[in-house]
Amino acid sequence: MRNTNQQTTTRTLADLYRALDRQNAVTVTYLAPGDTEPTVRTIEIADIRTTKNGGIVIVAMCRLRGEERQFHLSGIKAYTVHRIAYVLDRPAPTKYVRPAPAPVDNAEALFFYELARDKDDADYAPRTLIQSDADLAA
C-alpha cells in the first residue's frame, strides 16, 4: 500500500494512469470532504479529469456500490494497484437529444415550449459550441 502523503502527486497520478491504461483494479483509502472516517473502496478507473479550479477527479466504477463514482485525488490517502482486471461494466454515456424546434407562429405554444424546456433543462448535457454551428446564427 502506498501512502500519498509520502510521495509526490505526480507519482500518484502516474500509478493511477498506469492502472487505467492496464485496466487494473485499485483499492483506495478515501476520505470524502466533510467526513471524519476514511473508507476503503476497490475501484476500476474509467477517467481522470481536472476540475475548473485545478483539482483532479478520478471517475471510476466502485465495486462496493456497483456504480460510477468520483473520487478527488486530494481525498485519496493510500492506494494499492492490483493485477486484477476490470469486472464491472460501465454504463454507456447518455446521448444528448435535441428537442423539437420551437413553434414560431403561435405565441402561446412558444410560451409553453420555453416553460417545458426550462423545466427539463437539467436532463440535457451541455452542448459544446463550435464555430461552424450555423444553426445558432440569429
Q: What class is the 2-85 domain? A: mainly beta
Instruction: Write the pLDDT tens digit of every residue in 64-117.
Output: 988 999 999 999 999 999 999 998 888 776 665 666 676 778 888 777 777 776
Strands laid side by side in the 39-50 sheet: 2-3, 76-85, 24-30, 39-50, 56-62, 67-72
Report the percent of the chain where pLDDT is more than 90: 47
Candidate from 43-52, 55-64, 95-104, 121-130 with smallest mean pLDDT: 121-130
Query: Do 65 and 71 form a contact (C-beta atoms < 8 A)?
Result: no
pLDDT for 61 beyond 90: yes
Provide the b/e sequence for 102-121 (b: ≥16 CB within 10 Å): eeeeeeeeeeebeeeeeeee
The position carrying cell 445558432 is: 136
β-partners of residue 61 are: 44, 68
Query: Do 103 and 110 form a contact (C-beta atoms < 8 A)?
Result: yes
| Confidence (pTM) | 0.64
Residue 120 pLDDT level (bands cut at 50, 70, 90): low
Alpha helices in the chain (DSSP H): 9-22, 107-119
